[in-house]
Amino acid sequence: MAEKNGDDYVVRMPDGPFGRGSNGHFAPRASSTRPYNSRPALARLSKLDNSPIASVLAYCASSISMTIINKYVVSGQDWNVNFFYLTVQAFVCTGAIMASKQLGIINSLAPFDSDRFPVSVVLVGMIYTGTKALQFLSVPVYTIFKNLTIIVIAYGEVLWFGGSVSPLSLFSFGLMVLSSIVAAWADVQSAFAGDFGTGSAAAISTLNAGYAWMGLNVLCSASYVLGMRKVMKKMGFKDWDTMYYNNFLTIPVLLICGLLTEDWSVTNLARNFPPESRNRMILGMVYSGLGAIFISYCSAWCIRVTSSTTYSMVGALNKLPIAVCGLIFFSAPVTVGSVSAIIIGFVSGMVYALARVKQQNAPRNSLPTTRVPMSASSMSNRDANS
């Protein structure tokens, strides 16, 4: 269930679409003899598989579509079954992975380990707060505020993993905060102007709820990413293992939370899924479950045929079409403030991607001339892993 809201934190998938990945979970290609006339088709498929343009377009399309689909499903006037929606997502994604295992695409899955359960609980918090924030906020504002997660993760890595933040990264963080302030200001102005189609008091109340859920989502997302990094390093889980157990372990939590806090009666479900849009919403829910796999695979495909640098840049550039699609498909207010916030957020993402590239390309073989101070938590983490 990773990346159900179109975020940039993805579980890496194996390298090739047909061959065996480096983690050993994919079956090797089976040798077979094919008629001569099938070779042109295989050649075209191989060319597409190694096409940088195709991989970039596929990653952008999967990421944009996931955000738009999620927003479409949760934007119903009477929508109040987020846990039900997420439960369907989890079942679909888990079922798809199990089907892949039965078809031989996946050789095996790692045995269950109870240490993963706390991280899965945090994942439930992340995806639930994400859908609630998307329910109350527009897609552009949601995309802009999602950048704040990067700041929390960066400083979490400084505290717990001995990471560092470069001056260029700090500058990008400042732009991210500025874009969020401008976006909130533009939203409030639109609410007072009646651009949301409701009274100003109701619009402000909706925005306040959205900002509260967004703040919780930033904290939950950062906790999940940092927790996943620690768990995967400790347990050695691979790509399919992580995705499978992320979804499988969240199903009981989602079911319990949904049954305790939501009305899953036939009457309420009929109100949430009106006949005129029921089929489209069900199709969107199924697609969103498969979308976690699509995004993860397209991310790995993009990195494989281009580079991690290109992938970082594409991730930053992708924020702009997501925001524009939100303006187009959901009639979000287009004002000077909202457009300015989108532009500032786009620039902040580009600056952050550039800072990441420079940090990755920094010389690693030179010895430091001074002892780098470490926080107490990072030293304890180092001692625990030594």
Q: Check residues 104 and 175 and name the one with the higher pLDDT.
A: 175
Give me 63's structure tokens.
């990421």
Residues 6+ apart with CB under 8 A from 347: 175
Q: What is the pLDDT of residue 106?
A: 76
Say which residue the tokens 């934007």 belong to: 75
* 375 domain-assigned: no
Contact 80, 263 (CB under 8 A): yes
* 313 domain-assigned: yes
The radius of gyration of the chain's CA atoms, rounded to the nearest angstrom, is: 22
Residue 11 has pLDDT above 70, yes or no: no
Q: Rounded CA gap, 346 and 144, in Å? A: 8
Query: What confidence tier does 378 reach under pLDDT thresholds 50, 70, 90?
Result: very low
**Cα angle value 140/85/145 (rounded, 5°):** 20
Give, to the nearest 10 degrees, the angle between helix 200-235 and helix 148-161: 30
Contact 158, 372 (CB under 8 A): no
Contact 352, 164 (CB under 8 A): no
Q: Which pLDDT tens digit goes with each residue over 30-46?
A: 444 445 455 676 677 67
**Range of the structural domain that residue 353 is part of:** 53-362
* 21 domain-assigned: no
Q: What is the pLDDT of residue 197?
A: 67
Task: Classify each residue of 94-106 as buried b or exposed e, where b means 16 or more C-beta atoms within 10 Å of its C-beta.
Answer: bebbeeebeeebb
Q: Average model confidence (pLDDT) for the chain?
A: 79
* 90 domain-assigned: yes
**Domains held by the chain: number:** 1
Q: Which pLDDT tens digit goes with each residue over 271-309?
A: 999 999 999 999 999 998 898 788 877 877 787 787 666
Q: Check residues 213 and 24 and name the one with the higher pLDDT.
A: 213
Query: What confidence tier does 20 reach under pLDDT thresholds 50, 70, 90?
Result: very low
* 26 domain-assigned: no
Task: Classify each residue of 341-367 as buried b or exposed e, where b means 16 or more C-beta atoms within 10 Å of its C-beta.
Answer: bbebbbbbbbbbbbbbbeeeeeeeeee
Residue 22 has pLDDT above 70, yes or no: no
Give me 83's structure tokens.
């846990």
Q: Check residues 327 and 32 and name the one with the higher pLDDT.
A: 327
Q: Which of 314, 292, 311 is nearest to 242 (CA)?
A: 292
Query: What confidence tier does 185 reach under pLDDT thresholds 50, 70, 90?
Result: very high
Query: What confidence tier does 159 reach under pLDDT thresholds 50, 70, 90?
Result: confident
* 125 domain-assigned: yes
